[in-house]
Amino acid sequence: MQDDLAIRARGLRRSFGDLRAVDGIDLDVPRGMIFAILGPNGAGKTTLLRILATLTRADAGEARVMGHDLAAHPERVRAAIAMTGQFASLDEDLTGRENLVMLSRLWGFGWRAARGRADELLAAFDLSEAAKKQVKDYSGGMRRRLDIAASLIVSPGVLFLDEPTTGLDPSARAGVWRLIRGLAAEGVTILLTTQYLEEADQLAGRIAVIDHGRKIAEGTSRELKAQTGSGVLHVTPLDPGNREIALGLLGETAQADPEGGRISVPVADDAEAAAHLARLAQAHIRLAEFSLGAPSLDEVFFALTGREAA
């Protein structure tokens, strides 16, 4: 039933001159889910998001967002969504509080209610202390939080987040992740784009992998990992001098990390992994650590596209 879907898109296309930014994408996003669109720079993620948020027109295809047809009723779609773009969409000259009051007013709140809503959001996003600072003096993480707060003046059915953590340091990124999980727990459907495989893996219930404007795979993180059909054995020799010997013993498919001295080798099952470990033990190569895991999404991306992720 499409009513269970927050977003249902069929055959969306958009070109800019010769560039097919979005080249026939279908998407079903269930309500209440964190859905990630994963792809390298220039894959068409932002264009896809902007089409669904009514900010860019599609050349072809159709989509319903929260049950409203994108082409026929863009204003109803707009009323049901919120979008946080890649760059902080705020007035840098104004303070954080003034930005939120202005936007609350434009949503239809009276002055007093607008100020109340602004203060409530500032407190929830840990920005009360910076409320009276101009946004141009905010750090990247604060800006991002304010930007997301500005999208939550009224409850959106769907929140679009375009690369929500690009350019943030690890602790600011963790803060934004907590925020996104918190919103999903409140029942907000979240469609986010990311070029960080780890981010999609950590947050999303489902992931669509996009490359050159086309969807090349979709599924849960686990399903995508399963598509490469194998796991990976990671070993780190105790003595870095043994790395070359270990590489030779593990065969042609083994790859050494440029840093850290870790070697990764794809394996079909645990028996093959055990055989590799036995070979290293026979050659008296002691290991600092070893692990067997599903392939990382980086490796999945490589398997799907034949190239490195950006």
Interface region with another protein, contact rule CB under 8 A, candidates 24-32, 75-83, 220-228, 285-293 = 75-83
Q: Where are the alpha helices (DSSP H) in the chain?
A: 45-52, 74-80, 96-107, 111-124, 140-150, 170-185, 197-203, 221-227, 243-250, 270-282, 297-305
- The answer to whether residues 308 and 283 touch, using CB atoms and an 8 Å cutoff, is no
Q: Does 137 participate in binding another protein (rule CB under 8 A)?
A: no
Instruction: Closer to another protein by CB, 151 or 264: give it.
Output: 151
CA atoms in the 13 A half-sphere facing the CB of 280:
29
Q: Are 100 and 122 in contact (CB under 8 A)?
A: yes
Kind of pairing, strands 5-16 and 158-162?
A: unpaired
Task: Identify whether the C-beta of residue 146 lies closer than 8 Å to the C-beta of residue 127.
Answer: yes
- Chain centroid, CA 38 distance in Å: 6
State the minimum distance, in angstroms, from the CB of residue 219 to another protein: 29
Kindly state the smallest distance separating residue 36's Cβ from another protein, in Å: 20
Alpha-carbon distance 144 to 169, whole Å?
A: 12
Is residue 88 a contact residue for another protein (CB under 8 A)?
A: yes
Q: Which stretch binds another protein (CB under 8 A): 77-85, 206-214, 256-264, 287-295?
A: 77-85
The stretch near another protein (CB under 8 A) out of 24-32, 183-191, 261-269, 288-296 is 183-191
What track of x and - describes contact with another protein for positions 210 through 239 (by CB under 8 A)?
Answer: ------------------------------
- Angle, alpha carbons 141-142-148 (nearest 5°): 90
Two structure tokens written together for 153: 């003046």
Least distance in Å: CB of 23 to another protein? 21
174 lies in the binding site for another protein (CB under 8 A): no
93 forms part of the interface with another protein (CB under 8 A)? yes
Report the residue from 27, 152, 267, 280 that binds another protein according to the rule CB under 8 A. 152
Q: Which residues bind another protein (CB under 8 A)?
A: 53-57, 75, 78-79, 81-83, 85-95, 98, 102-103, 105-110, 113, 117, 120-121, 124-125, 134, 150, 152, 154-155, 178-179, 182-183, 186, 188
